[in-house]
Structure 1
Amino acid sequence: MCAHSSSDEGGSLTGVIVAGAVSVVVGVALCVAVMVLTPVPIVKARPADAAAGAVVYISGTADRSRGADWQGKERDFIAGTSVKVVEDELNLAAAAQTKPDAASAPLNFRIRDGVFQVGTPLTIPGLGQTVIFQARGGFARHGDRFALDAHEVYLGACPLHRLPGAAGLVMNRIGASARTSLPAEFQAAWSRLTSVSIEGDTLQLASQ
């Protein structure tokens, strides 16, 4: 008979547990990577034949007839006046403020049925592959300013809101990048807001 010490058994058991844990982590990481890199269709409306749970990206519009007054509303907002804006005004403003040689595309906004969406293509570092980032939700005060309180956040086809901490990490990075690109007077006006709400397809910004 062969004798086994308790320490050998403990060591073997520990090895099995560690190997199992590593396998799970690697498996999850591979699943996430596959979902992130899965192409997401860019559409104007959700296809009627789309499978339940299928991830698509519905981009917001930039109709010049609906967004013709974006510059006037921007001046009013910076001056401290409460304004109501639609997605077309936001998208025309974002496009106008993006330099032609900018490394990244402007943010795209969509407002429908009381839900605010922001999206943009992102390049994955080290891979050079571009995927769609999109987040949807409402607004809530975080600290001294209002920010998007997203209930759905996707990177490619990966639902980051289902991964603990992942959605917040990406949202913070996107938010920080967006703030640094905004003029100081716009950031100051945003910090003075007393409420941010969405009614139907309109974003309402109330200033002091």
Structure 2
Amino acid sequence: MTQEPVSDKESSFAPDGTGIPTSMKKNWESENNGGNHEGYDYMVGMAGTTYGIYSAVEFPKNPNAHESPFFEPLLQRTAAHYSSIDLVSGDSAFLARDNCDLVIEAGGIPRFYPKRGITLKRRGSWSWTNMLMNLIENPQGWLREYHQRSNIETTYSTLKRDFQTPLRKKIKKRREIEKHARICDYNLKRLCYIRRLEEIPIHWKAN
């Protein structure tokens, strides 16, 4: 419901992962290099880079899980809610030939930051090679498109400022509801902002 007002206006998306604290004692970034993410529930989300609305979220059970396996369900749900997907930009955690193919199949252009040691070999994925060749031929344009992903960092920052206290629920099912409620709350606040700023009509708002 919260995606509906921008479903035909947003076409650029970015995935990323972060931690939602369950305790005040730790900071996600301070623990990031050590691989110990106890005290957090993990979240992998996708958001529009123009309006900053979350299009899909996943909450992996393992706080140390890799982000890339969650890309496909995030993209599928995003494609189901939006009229078109023109661009998907993500950091190197999402760099994979399969993910490039998925973006092309959805009608978009992949922009995943390359890792050291990768090659241009297709291995069945033309989209992989084309993405890297575009980087070689037009690095400034490529990076300009890639850095749209920075906007999802902003959405996470805003979300965490809105909810500075850790998750309160202890029972698993209730905690899942609480996490989804925070995302819905963020999206609703964001819609209120862009409705005033850009006069986007919201047909389901209360009279």
Q: Quickly name the TM-score band, shorter chain normalised.
A: under 0.3
- Scaled by the length of structure 2, what TM-score is found? 0.28
Structure with more of its chain in strand, by fraction: 1
Higher RCO (Cα < 8 Å, 6 or more apart): 2
Structure with more of its chain in helix, by fraction: 2
**Larger C-alpha radius of gyration, 1 or 2?**
1
- Scaled by the length of structure 1, what TM-score is found? 0.28
